[in-house]
Amino acid sequence: MSKQAEFAVILKMNAMFADLGGDELQRLSNLCHTQHLANGEVLFQKGDAGDALFGVRRGQVRIETGASDGSRLTLNFMGPGDLFGEVAVLDGQSRTADATAGEASELFVLRREDFLSFLEREPKVAIKIIALLCQRIRWQSERMEESMLQPLPVRLARRLCALAADFGSEVHISQEQLGIFVGAARESVNRQLQAWRKEAILDLQRGRILLRNMTKLTAIARNE
């Protein structure tokens, strides 16, 4: 399968492009090129020009932001099949967060000028994008509510379930990164993970978490 065909498959899996026909997807995917990132390499930083839409072919990209005290907050993890950069590539404004490769990665890149030209020819895609942005707003509102109202076990279980949906039962993430992701101290995260390890819900290894009982973890995520 060619890289363009792979990108077409990724586009098809995304809600923004799901209703496009094969010919439309192929025309759009033909506009892309690929970019390689080394582990830890910065793709873009907050404030950079939003000049491209990205899709992950392989690897992992962390979407992060920083505070004045130097701390970091991981907003999301992007894995194979994920698209990101939609907001900045649509409005042409600066990036709202940093993107850094969590491991060696290969990305599909669709430049803003090519994408906007395509949207002018395909208005139904523009309508899909509006729906997608509304979905993102809802997602951010849910995360804010979650961080304020839900206890740590629920927040932690939800993040692990979300990561498992993207990366499978073996999640490569440090406890420090996970703590930043759920807004909790590493020590608190470690205590909860150790408790779940004793219950055989998961197993802990250096730099990764092996999820053993997704049924129970999902029940915790649902606060059942």
What pLDDT digit, counting tens, does each position of 52-111 carry?
Answer: 989 999 999 999 887 656 777 778 889 888 988 877 777 888 888 899 999 999 999 999
pLDDT of residue 219: 93
pLDDT of residue 169: 85
Which one has a higher pLDDT value, 113 or 75?
A: 113
Confidence category of residue 148, pLDDT binned at 50, 70, 90: low
Q: Give the DSSP H/E element, type plus range, for residue 203.
A: strand 202-205
Does residue 16 have a pLDDT over 90?
A: no
Does residue 143 have a pLDDT over 70?
A: no
Structural tokens at position 209? 């978490």
Among 125-139, 161-175, 190-204, the minimum mean pLDDT is found in 125-139
Does residue 34 have a pLDDT over 80?
A: yes
Residues 6 or more apart whose CB falls under 8 angstroms from that of 50 comprise 85, 87, 88, 89, 90, 91, 92, 93, 94, 95, 112
Q: Contact, 182 vs 159, CB < 8 A? A: yes
**Cα gap 61→76, rounded to integer Å:** 9
pLDDT of residue 67: 62
Does residue 128 have a pLDDT over 70?
A: yes
**Cα gap 55→58, rounded to integer Å:** 9
Domains parsed from the chain with CATH numbers: 3-143 (2.60.120.10), 152-222 (1.10.10.10)
Residues 6 or more apart whose CB falls under 8 angstroms from that of 125 comprise 16, 17, 20, 24, 118, 119
Does residue 37 have a pLDDT over 90?
A: yes
What pLDDT digit, counting tens, does each position of 66-82 carry?
Answer: 765 677 777 888 988 89
Q: Contact, 6 vs 57, CB < 8 A? A: yes
